[in-house]
Structure 1
Amino acid sequence: MDEKKKIILKLENICQSYVVKDGVKDAVDNVSLEIYNNEFLVILGPGYCGKTVLMNMIAGLEKPVGGKIYLDGEEIHGSDSRIGMVFQSLNLMPWRTVMANVEFGLEIAGVSKEERRKTAQKYIDLVGLTGFENSYPHELSGGMKQRVGIARAYTNNPEILLMDEPFGQLDAQTRYAMEDEVLRIWEQEKRTIIFVTNNIEEAVYLADRIVVLSKCPAKVKAIYDLKDLPRPRNMTDPEFLKVRSEISDNTDLAL
């Protein structure tokens, strides 16, 4: 089998609902997906449609009320060390330096100081934070904090990296720069990335495939394969604009 077409993660009829004062609220309704090895998959949908709920179930932070999740062909229950996550709210520990934040997962895992420093340094260098190892989060810009979060996730060596609207709180210029950084790191490291956004332009710029979700409860509305849209992509290119417009016509989002 083509390694690129190897299915690394499979969602089978995933459902989630919550008890609220007026009864039961459905958040995710019967979502089935196959995610391929090393692909950059973007999940696109409107705010509060259930995107984060879906990501939380993949990460093992929430248990689905229905359906199954398979990783490397085996059903998983709860969190798995092969799946890492970068949140919009990074939750960096303010009392720890960049180095100490990045190596935290390895420290908890009992990895020796020498080995975890070596691994953490590799990813600090990779995300462009060389020289900031001894800085604290309050000394960093928003984009730099996101780089720390990405380095921390990669340091734990996940097969799959989940990114839940990681650039939503950044200004436009920093956001564009971080999109390029994530693509650079992905092309160098070649891990599977599942990236959540409500921004159509961002989705088209980043994705190998785009999964469009409906309004809440989240259902798969459409899937777009962008493999024929060459990289690096130009947001003003006619082909880019054509794809963006086509997706916009089939989503609950505006351009």
Structure 2
Amino acid sequence: MDSKKIKLKLENISQSYIVKNRVFDAVVGVSLEVRESEFLVILGPGRCGKSVLLNMIAGLEKPVEGRILLDGEEIRGSDERIGMVFQKLALMPWKTVMENVEFGLKIKGMKKETRREIAQKYIDLVGLQGFEKCYPNQLSGGMKQRVGIARAYTNNPEILLMDEPFGQLDAQTRYAMQDEVLRIWEAEKRTVIFVTNNIEEALYLADRVILLTNCPAAVKDVYEIDLPRPRNAVDPEFLRLRKLISENTDLAL
């Protein structure tokens, strides 16, 4: 893993806001490198600044300090090479699964036959074949997340950002979606940056875990997760790492 190319690099990234005439720091001096094809998990307590950090990588917010480099070149805003899956999916309720998944390609002006062929590939990949004509209100929470993942992949990103995508799912569906995301990642081998506040989820998914402090977010520690997949949550090494990270995690305020 260490010999892999550095795909994304954050150099001393900070973000702050003016709140009631005072400066509020959300992220302070975050520097990290993301390897090509890596499944990187950013872990931290609730409301610590994880989503703010991800929004800066996605180009939705501009850092007040630092810079972000993709393949060695600084990016200054949104970039088509970076896709994002949000916790609260912005699926269009009046459009079918197929229409939601192909939407980005349609906006780009791609011909219907071509975009539908690409969209169908990812609909099949996420296990939604047969649901192409269904509307979001006809789908379960897990199925809606699959639509969001398929839509993100259809736009052919080199890096996929996932902002606590399973936080609103029930436990059983969440476990199933963790396996599903790993299956898709292993099939596609794209770089994934996954944000969570769940230690077990981080350990189950990650090649490497970046542990953040409580707000303002800063890098507290980095853990290489050298466990074979599929992982077992009661494996002694899994339990050892969970205890180690838990004891090192700041309590949410």
Corresponding residue for 2:44?
45
Corresponding residue for 1:167?
166
Corresponding residue for 2:204?
205
Matched, 1:234 2:232: yes
Residue 253 of structure 1: how far off its partner (Å) = 4.9
Distance in 1 separating the partners of 2:159 and 2:87: 17
Partner letter of residue 242 of structure 1?
A: R
| Comparing 126-135 and 241-250, the one that deviates more | 241-250
Corresponding residue for 1:113?
112
The one of 229, 241, 244 aligned to 1:243 = 241
Distance in 2 separating the partners of 1:78 and 1:16: 14
> What secondary structure does 1:169 align onto?
coil
Equivalence map 1:37-186=2 (5 Å): 37-186=36-185
Residue 252 of structure 1: how far off its partner (Å) = 1.6
Partner letter of residue 52 of structure 1?
A: S
Partner letter of residue 200 of structure 1?
A: I
> What secondary structure does 1:151 align onto?
helix
Distance in 2 separating the partners of 1:202 and 1:107: 34
Distance in 2 separating the partners of 1:189 and 1:176: 20
Residue 231 of structure 1: how far off its partner (Å) = 1.0
Residue 133 of structure 1: how far off its partner (Å) = 0.1
Residue 8 of structure 2 contacts residue 69 of structure 2 at CA under 8 Å; is this kept in 1? yes
CA deviation map 1:162-216 (0-9, x unaligned): 0000000000000000000000000000000000000000000000000000000
Residue 214 of structure 2 contacts residue 251 of structure 2 at CA under 8 Å; is this kept in 1? no
Partner letter of residue 100 of structure 1?
A: E
CA deviation map 1:211-244 (0-9, x unaligned): 0000000000000001x21111011111111111
Q: Which segments of 5 or more consecutive residues in structure 1 lack a partner in the other structure?
A: none
Corresponding residue for 2:15?
16
Residue 44 of structure 2 contacts residue 196 of structure 2 at CA under 8 Å; is this kept in 1? yes
Partner letter of residue 61 of structure 1?
A: L
Partner letter of residue 54 of structure 2?
A: M
Distance in 2 separating the partners of 1:72 and 1:105: 24
Residue 3 of structure 1 contacts residue 37 of structure 1 at CA under 8 Å; is this kept in 2? no
Distance in 2 separating the partners of 1:113 and 1:159: 23
Partner letter of residue 248 of structure 1?
A: S
Partner letter of residue 96 of structure 2?
A: T
> What secondary structure does 1:79 align onto?
coil
Distance in 1 separating the partners of 2:121 and 2:251: 39
> What secondary structure does 1:249 align onto?
helix
Distance in 1 separating the partners of 2:77 and 2:195: 20
- Structure 1 residue runs of 4 or more that deviate by more than 2 Å after TM superposition: none
**What TM-score, normalized by structure 1, do the two folds share?**
0.97
Matched, 1:28 2:7: no
> What secondary structure does 2:178 align onto?
helix
Residue 22 of structure 1: how far off its partner (Å) = 4.4
Distance in 1 separating the partners of 2:87 and 2:107: 23
Residue 4 of structure 1 contacts residue 39 of structure 1 at CA under 8 Å; is this kept in 2? no
Distance in 2 separating the partners of 1:241 and 1:3: 24
Residue 7 of structure 1 contacts residue 36 of structure 1 at CA under 8 Å; is this kept in 2? yes
Residue 4 of structure 1: how far off its partner (Å) = 5.9
Distance in 2 separating the partners of 1:230 and 1:136: 38
Distance in 2 separating the partners of 1:12 and 1:35: 12
> What secondary structure does 2:98 align onto?
helix
